[in-house]
Amino acid sequence: MEAYTGFAKVYDLFMDDVPYEEWCGYLTGILREYGVLEGLVCELGCGTGQMTELLAEAGYDMIGIDQSEEMLEEAVQKRAESGHDILYLQQDMREFELYGTVRAIVCVCDSLNYVLREEEIFEILRAAARNYLDYGGLFIFDLNTEYKYREILGEQTIAENREEGSFIWENYYDEGSMINEYNLTLFEREASGLYRKYEETHYQRAYRLPVIEELVRRSGLELLHVYDAFTHEPPREDSERVYVICRRRAEEGERK
Backbone phi, then psi, for 41, in 5-degree steps?
Answer: -135, 135
Q: Does the global pTM surpass 0.85? A: yes
Alpha helices in 83-175 (DSSP H): 118-127, 146-147
Q: What is the pLDDT of residues 104-161, one digit of tens each?
A: 999 999 999 999 999 999 999 999 999 999 999 999 999 999 999 999 998 899 888 8
Residues found in the chain? 256
Rounded-to-integer distance, Cα 155 and Cα 234, Å = 28
Domains of the chain: 8-144+207-254 (3.40.50.150), 148-205 (2.20.25.110)
At residue 5, does pLDDT exceed 60? no
Least confident range from 95-99, 159-163, 205-209: namely: 159-163
26-60 residue pLDDT tens:
999 999 999 999 999 999 999 999 999 999 999 99
What are the backbone dihedrals phi and psi of residue 113, each rounded to the nearest 5 degrees, phi first? Answer: -65, -20
For 172, phi then psi, to 5°, come to -140, 115
